[in-house]
Structures are given as C-alpha cells and as structure tokens.
Structure 1
C-alpha cells in the first residue's frame, strides 16, 4: 500500500502514512494561468494498492477535479486498486430534490468517483449516510465525534452537557455523551428552502451551572451553532464550547459564534482552518488497518 497525500490534504495524508509506516507518493501540482489544474505523481504506483487522501472542502470544485485526476492518473499508471479517503465529501448536503428541477448533486459526484477509477470510498461523518448506499462503489462513513469528545475530556470537561443543534445531529450528542459521561439533548431548527435562513426553536435544557458542548458535523456560516450558543447561555450554562468535524468556517463564522458566547471552537483537519485542533489521522489509519486485516 502507498498513500498519495492530495493537494488539499497533504499534511493529513503524511500523518496517516507515518502512523501506518507506509510509503507516500508526492504530488506535483499547480494552477495554469486559466485556473486549470496540473497534476503529476512523483513516484511509482504500478501494481500497488493506492490510497488517495484528498478532502473536498472549499474550493470544492477544484479539490474534486484534482481527486478525479489523481485517481485516473494512478489507474492509468498501473495501480491495481484505488481507495479514496475523502474526509469532507463535497455536495453531500445536496441529496434531495426540494424544488422542481433541482439537481441531486451528490448522485453526480458518486458517478464521477467510479468513472475516475476509484474502487472504494472512505469519508468522515457524511451529512446523510443513506447517500452512500446509492453509490456504485463500496463507500462508508466513519465518525470522528469520539475524537472530539476525547479532546474536551482531556481538557477537564468530563460530565459536560452534549448538545446537538438539531434533530439530525442528535446521534452526535449521544455519541459524545458516552465519552464525556454527562447528559445530552438537541434542539429543533427550520431552514427556509429559498433564503437558507435558519430559525432555531428554544427548549428547556438541564444546563444551568454546567459546561456545555455543541457537537455537529459541519460548521459553515455559523448561524446554526451561534443560535445554539445563545440558547445555552440564556439558560445559564457556565461555559459553552462548539465542536465540529468539518470546519468550513465561511466568512465571519468564527466571530459570529464567539460573539454569541462560545469559549472556543474546535474542529478537525478534515478541512484545515483556524479552528483545527484535532487530527483525523489516527481514526483514518485505524480504518485502513482494519481493512488490511479484513
């Protein structure tokens, strides 16, 4: 097995390779003046099982195209099998047709993954696991919530209240509470299908005088998380923290959440950002080790 750390996940790919003790194949890459991507593999892949590590956060389209080119190049150069580790899978939230004529974009991405030569996909906390069942290649999502909860536990936040900002993320609060040993709960939110505006309904939570941590898969513009922070503060939480697997942190998301009353925002290196603290490398190395052992 050899690992190709893609342009968007170079450090993460190298960390995984170091844990596993396997060779990496470096990638030479650049943008042409017209913004097209140039890719060259700087090592031998013929006859090898290749693992490409390439997250597809912003700029999503560029990172996806680079992933497709890397996979196709590896197969064209003789790789016997290509596994793609894509911690953040772009377009996964475009999984339903809400309005007439809308494209279900994640279905298109699934087809392109196969066409480019990828034999198997491993992703992390995909927005809806059901979307992977429609892919024509084996695809699985693993959870990094325990890693995030372990981080807070190591910082002395045992027994903290774990909150999910909506029902769809309830499983994250439950998973985190098993590590932290405290209570958990979730809120209800509604999003306007046309404007994208989020409204969060307040509910009574047993957080007065307690530390609380909000767990979610993605922080994008920060609106959902900021709303949850405000509710926790209003109900008397002692300290409030925010944690997510994929810190997209669009625009002023960080400031928005901190201004709402959060002490700290913690993300993983799924999408490198100014809140990245926890590395996915041990989790992904474990997934590959388990795969090798069968």
Structure 2
C-alpha cells in the first residue's frame, strides 16, 4: 500500500512569483544573465527539497525561448537537490501551436519541447487549455481546463450570457465545457482566413441574432480573431458581454480599445500577468498528484488554496 504523500513543496519560477499557494512551502528561483546573454537559474536553499515532492510553477510565455531554457535549468536544479519527484506546471507552454508538419522541412516543435522536459528530469507535466494534445511525450501530461474558473468569475460579475461562442470549430470542446457550467447553449463558428492572415466571418447562424454572447478562446496574440468576430456579432444586433481568453499574449488595454465598448475581457495569469483577474495556480494544486504516492488531504479540493484568485 502506498503511503500518503506529505512532503510537498512548490518552486516558483523567476517570472511566476506573484503566485502563492498559502498552503505549501515555497522557494523562489532567481535568474541571472551574463554579458554574453546566457542565463543562470539559481534556487536559494535548494537543499530543503531533498526527499520532497516538488511542483515547479513556471510559464513559458514570451520571451518563450528564454523562459523555456529557464524551466529546463530549474528542473535540473530541483532534480539535483534530491527531490523525490519533479512535476512541472507550465500554465502557458511554448510552441504548442507547432504540433504538426505543415510542409516538408518543418520541425514538430512541440515534440522537441516534450523531449527536452523529459531529458531535463521532469516526471510529470501540467498544462492549461493546450492548443493540441502533447503527443509522443514520454512523461504523463495533464491538460487542465480554465472553464471552472471562468464560470465562477462570470457568475460573480452577473454577466448572464445567452450563448457561449467559439471562434472556430477547433475550440468547440472548450466552449462547450464553459457553456455546460453556465447552463446556456454553445455555438462554434466557421472562421475564414485569407492568405495574408486576415480573419473574417460570413453569415452568422440565426441563433446568434440579438443575443448576449460570451466568446471563449484559448489564446489571443493580436486580436485578429476576436476583433472581427465582435464586429460580426454587432452587425446582427448581438452584444458581446465578455471575452474569456486563457492565454492573453497581447496588451490588455490595446485589445480592449478595439473591442466594442462595455466588453469585459476576462483572462488568466497564465502568461505572468499579475493583474489578470483569474489566477491559475489553484487549478494545478487541485489536480497535482505527486509521482510515487497518494495525495494528502490538502489536495482533495478543500481549503483556502483551492479558491481561484480574484473570485
């Protein structure tokens, strides 16, 4: 019979120190950059991790290459300190949209990322609303959903949408999960793209006429999808009560300026934005099951640490 895991610690990456668990011992990593541009991640008091099960919390949002190397170094530090197991929570995992070869001569970068995490010494990986399944990973990968946190925040703000809208068919399951939690219908649209990257929407379904809509998407890097979608909804008399984006990679104020007046922009802190209304660390803590043992009572969803930040 396996013993319950009791010796748990959290290690916060150098760009993730706005997060706090309020339940487990935390160590914070430090990044040092040399004149030649190389970085060195250090972890003061790393010896405290010997024999403990560790969850590294580290986003790899832009600048992706720098932060991904930081994560690899941090895994090596924790493994070298003698941790019993090393799990990584990368709320935004870089290169997740490069999950296939679109033409000869291209890499499957997502596979390279998975191999590097395994080689560095990670035992488990937790992601959040990943763009695609992390195929060919040697370590267990758990993709968490931000839908419960979004649903709680939508209720708190009393937004009362009539329908949840996915900008494309690929986001159907994500939108459906949020719609179920809110008790409303869901519609996934067909997104059209020009060769130059411009996005546009044709005639919208009649079910969207004069409705209160909530748009949900996994990622926004420029607004090139959300802006034309909101415009198309406005043309049929619908209002966009809120836009829920898990990974907001563009500047919040600039995006809001281009969305219809009064639209609420709800996003998580997956990319390191401490001002984001929804913190994602509680989602990881609730899901974390350390390798080689049973979760303690603290990991069953009880207690203060389980309440999403800002809700």
- The alignment's TM-score, normalised by the length of structure 1, stands at 0.89
Distance 1:241 1:256 in 2: 13
Distance 2:226 2:275 in 1: 14
Distance 1:100 1:68 in 2: 29
1:75 aligns with 2:79: yes
Secondary structure of the equivalent of 2:295? Answer: helix
Identify the residue that residue 102 of structure 2 maps to in structure 1.
98
Identify the residue that residue 41 of structure 1 maps to in structure 2.
43
Identify the residue that residue 269 of structure 2 maps to in structure 1.
269
Identify the residue that residue 14 of structure 2 maps to in structure 1.
7
1:51 aligns with 2:55: yes
TM-aligned CA deviation for residue 205 of structure 1: 4.2
Instruction: Show the 5 A alignment for 1:122-201.
Output: 122-129=126-133, 132-191=134-193, 195-201=196-202
More helix by share: 1
Distance 1:211 1:249 in 2: 25
TM-aligned CA deviation for residue 149 of structure 1: 2.2
Distance 1:66 1:142 in 2: 22
Could you list the runs of 5+ residues in structure 2 that have no partner in the other structure?
Answer: 1-7, 300-311
TM-aligned CA deviation for residue 189 of structure 1: 1.5
Instruction: Compute the RMSD of aligned alpha carbons.
Output: 2.2
Identify the residue that residue 231 of structure 2 maps to in structure 1.
230
Identify the residue that residue 27 of structure 2 maps to in structure 1.
25
Secondary structure of the equivalent of 1:108? Answer: helix
Task: Describe the shift of the 1:238–1:203 C-alpha distance in structure 2 as closer, same or farther (beyond 3 A).
Answer: closer
Distance 1:26 1:158 in 2: 40
Secondary structure of the equivalent of 1:201? Answer: coil
Distance 2:206 2:124 in 1: 42
1:63 aligns with 2:64: no
Distance 1:166 1:275 in 2: 28
Distance 2:12 2:131 in 1: 24
* 1:226-254 per-position Cα deviation (integer Å, ceiling 9, x unaligned): 1211111111113432111111116xx75
1:292 aligns with 2:301: no
Distance 1:264 1:63 in 2: 29
Identify the residue that residue 241 of structure 1 maps to in structure 2.
242
Distance 1:205 1:260 in 2: 22
Distance 2:148 2:28 in 1: 31
Could you list the runs of 5+ residues in structure 1 that have no partner in the other structure?
Answer: none
Secondary structure of the equivalent of 2:272? Answer: coil
Task: Describe the shift of the 1:203–1:281 C-alpha distance in structure 2 as closer, same or farther (beyond 3 A).
Answer: same
Distance 1:208 1:219 in 2: 25
Whether the 8 Å contact between 2:111 and 2:135 is mirrored in structure 1 is no
Secondary structure of the equivalent of 1:229? Answer: helix
Distance 2:76 2:225 in 1: 38
The alignment of Structure 1 onto Structure 2 pairs a total of residues equal to 284
Whether the 8 Å contact between 1:160 and 1:182 is mirrored in structure 2 is yes
Whether the 8 Å contact between 1:145 and 1:245 is mirrored in structure 2 is no
TM-aligned CA deviation for residue 289 of structure 1: 6.1
* 1:229-285 per-position Cα deviation (integer Å, ceiling 9, x unaligned): 1111111113432111111116xx753454241512110010134872111122112
* 1:112-148 per-position Cα deviation (integer Å, ceiling 9, x unaligned): 000111111011111012xx24101111101002211
